[in-house]
Amino acid sequence: MSPQAARLDGGALRHVQRANPLAFKIASSVAEFEAIYRLNHATFAVEIPQHATNPHGRLVDAYHPENTYMICLCGDIVVGMVAGRCSRPFSLDRKVADLDLYLPPHRKAVEIRLLAVTPRYRHSTVFTGLVSRIARYFLDRECDLALISGTLRQLKLYRHMEFRPFADPIGDAGAGAATALLGLLLQETMGIIIAAIYVLAGRRWVALLRNWVPWGVIYGAVIFVVMFGLIVAFFARHTGQRAPAAGELAA
């Protein structure tokens, strides 16, 4: 696994969903926590062998009492989760010696862990919804840096989200060993700004709002071309390498 770093900006930390049955909230009930234990086991014991499986199908995180869980519900079923925690030591303190030496100046850091989405919802808005909302939650609590555990298999995704390596790979790659990521959501920030521009333009040109489907498709296509071009140019300028191709961004 390769430690990655990115700034946590407080801009767009909101994912808007229209006509979507999904709901996001902080876990609070006994049933929700039980669902978290089971999703944790299914993801990090069965699918990714970071922990041993057990016949009960439950896995309670070692930092559970201090974790705050953002969950995604479809009806009353938990289909995704992510946890955040500000208390030190972080789990990465056990894996990266002198972790603070790698970190840029900051007021308060949060470690984001245990991102898990059930297979059926992995190609939906669950991922971005969880990430944007957990980021907003901790930004509201004065956190300006986030550490996130990642996997070597998703380095292209991290690059696309503007995360950068800041230390050598660590841990057991087969178990999805921890990667440090600083920050969340430059992509989400831009998404909110882009949506706001469309809404503001719609106040002047009412047709944009009355016929939002065709104009939205055209607007989205233009934004994709422009933003992808900027990503290519930025990546090439700052790394000396070619940027990920469009088909590689979600690989």
End-to-end CA distance of the chain: 16
What residue ranges of the chain are covered by domains with CATH 3.40.630.30? 4-185
Per-residue pLDDT of the chain (251 residues; tens, 9 = 90+): 555 555 555 443 343 334 448 999 999 999 999 999 999 999 999 988 889 999 999 999 999 999 999 999 999 999 999 999 999 999 888 888 888 888 888 899 999 999 999 999 988 889 889 988 998 999 999 998 888 766 666 677 666 666 666 666 665 544 444 444 444 555 667 778 878 888 888 888 878 788 878 888 887 888 777 766 665 555 444 444 443 333 332 22
> How far is residue 51's CA from residue 59's CA, in Å, rounded to a whole number?
9
In contact, 35 and 78? CB cutoff 8 Å: yes
Residue labelled with tokens 């030190």: 88
Q: CA quadruple 238, 239, 240, 241: dihedral positive or negative?
A: negative
- Residue 189: its pLDDT value, please? 72
Q: Which residues contact 212 (CB under 8 A, 6 or more apart)?
A: 202
What global pTM score does this model have?
Answer: 0.60
CATH top class, domain 4-185: alpha beta
Q: Which residues contact 181 (CB under 8 A, 6 or more apart)?
A: 3, 4, 5, 6, 112, 146, 147, 148, 149, 150, 158, 163
SS (H, E, C) 49-92: CCCCCCCCCCCCCCCHHHCEEEEEEECCEEEEEEEEECCCCCHH
> How far is residue 227's CA from residue 246's CA, in Å, rounded to a whole number?
11
Give the angle subtended at the CA of 75 by the CAs of 70 and 79, to the nearest 5°.
45
In contact, 84 and 37? CB cutoff 8 Å: no
